[in-house]
A = this chain, B = another copy of it.
Amino acid sequence: MTERVKVAVVGVGNNTSALVQGLALHRQSGSMVGIRRPVVDGLGVGDVAVVAAFATSAEKIGRDLTEAIFLPPNNFPRLDCDLPAVGVPVTKGLVDATEVPRVAAALAEAEVLLYSAPSGRPETARAYAEAALTAGVAFINTTADPVARDPHLLARFEAAGLPLLGDDLASQFGTSVLHNALLRLLRERGLTLVSSYQVNLGGTEDFRNLVQNPDTKMRSKLNALPEGAHSVEVAPLGYLPHLRSRKVAHLNLEARGWGETSVSLDVKLTVHDPSGAAGVNIDLVRIASSALRNGRGGYSSEATSLLKSPPGTAV
């Protein structure tokens, strides 16, 4: 019988809510809906269990994880399944490097540490990576902060025989994936792109934060569009609280075909952003666990299609 993959998560936001609830839904119903890889190296979705969680919000600390995931500003919906308490109280997360030993001790039971906090705090990300090294667990960085891209840190994980996956998770189905697929399709069919835009609207705390710092995100969005990017424009993100955890994207592509006649595509995409993250995290966790169990430390190229900035890309 397969031993459970024991995961500790940093961050008790919407993405963790989607992960925890989706796992409960899968266990109860056996549903394979929306699951990209039923089995990764022998590990099923139901083999993953969250055994520890770290957060910094005073309201969340001490609460059972199954309660904490519904506290504001979280706004991912309550899925249609029972969610019995898992007996995992949320632990106080670390604020600076002096707390690494405490966090490492709290990882005693875990096999993988999934770093799923907001982007923009590289020192914190690296401190958790240190805790993983100390505790001897695999580390996954889903934020844009450079961790796996740091060659020195990666070498230390390799030497310790511990997997290190990252950086910056690529959503299971988001605007970049869709926009790129459409740009590629036009090119394959021989159409000439004239112009294109995307507008992204969302209602999560993440969106609110990104709106404060739009240039970074827009550049990241443009970086994610390698093909014909000179004709592609990304409008500022819009924070619309009514959308809650949904993201809405409007895309337009204007092209020309034979005889220079026009071809127009208008697309509206609606997704739940946290589901897009959890649907990828469930694969990263199993890749990390499998690597650990097989003694493969460092980065696994199997993770590359799930990441925006794997090792070797620019910091």
Interface residue ranges, A against B (CB under 8 Å):
18, 21-22, 25, 31-37, 77, 79-80, 172-173, 177-178, 181-182, 185-186, 189-192, 194-195, 197, 199, 201, 211, 231, 233, 235-238, 240-243, 248, 250, 252, 255-272, 275-276, 278-279, 282
Among B258, B266, B270, B275, the residue within 8 A (CB) of A267 is B266
Q: Is the CB of B172 within 8 A of A257?
A: yes
**Stoichiometry, copies per complex:** 4
Bound: A175/B185 CA distance, A: 12
Q: Whole-angstrom distance from the CB of A20 to the nearest CB of chain B? A: 10
Give the residue name and chain of the B residue nearest to A34 (CB): B257
Distance to closest chain B CB from A38 (angstroms)? 9
- Chief secondary structure at chain A's binding surface: mixed
Given the known interface contacts A250-B199, A258-B282, A263-B173, the answer about A185 and B181 at a Cβ–Cβ threshold of 8 Å is yes
Pick from B233, B265, B269: contact of A269, CB under 8 Å: B265
A211 nearest CB neighbor, chain B only: B236
Q: A190-B36, A199-B199, A238-B199 are in contact. Are A259 and B185 (CB under 8 A)?
A: no
Q: How far is the CB of A96 from chain B (nearest CB, A)?
A: 33
Taking a contact as CB atoms under 8 Å apart, the answer to whether A258 and B278 are in contact is yes
Closest to A240 in B: B233
Contact in complex: B260, A79 (CB < 8 Å): yes
Q: Which of A18, A33, A241, A269 has the most CB of B within 10 A?
A: A33
Asked if residues B264 and A269 are in contact (CB atoms below 8 Å), the reply is: yes
